[in-house]
């Protein structure tokens, strides 16, 4: 809590509001992109594989960037 006392209260409230806003926006974007998977039954398996592949590539990229920044 020492960290919070060092910042002005308006900054902390704005930071928390922005954090929650980006979480809600991210959830809305996931719902919007996921609707196409369930709308078209012919390409459901392909869409799921593309989504899974994208998540894996993104996660690996974040791990690599994190390891580079640690050095």
Could you tell me the residue ranges of all domains in the chain?
1-39, 41-71
**b/e for 24-52, b at 16 or more Cβ within 10 A?**
eeeeeeeeeeeeebeeeeeeeeebeeeee
Q: What is the pLDDT of residue 37?
A: 67
Query: pLDDT for 22-63, tens place per residue?
Result: 888 888 888 877 776 677 677 778 877 887 888 888 889 888
Q: Give the pLDDT band (50/70/90) at residue 4.
A: low
For residues 50 and 34, is the Cβ–Cβ distance under 8 A?
no
Torsion of CA 14, 20, 25, 29, to 10 degrees: 150
Overall pTM > 0.95 = no
pLDDT at residue 3 above 60?
A: no
Q: What is the pLDDT of residue 62?
A: 86
Rounded to whole angstroms, the Cα distance separating 58 from 46 reads 18
């Amino acid at each position: 809590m020492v960290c919070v006392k060092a910042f002005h209260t308006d900054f902390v409230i704005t930071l928390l509001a922005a954090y929650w806003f980006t979480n809600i926006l991210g959830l809305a974007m996931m719902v919007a992109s996921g609707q196409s998977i369930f709308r078209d039954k012919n390409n459901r398996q392909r869409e799921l594989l593309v989504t899974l592949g994208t998540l894996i590539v993104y996660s690996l990229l974040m791990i690599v960037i994190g390891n580079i920044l640690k050095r």
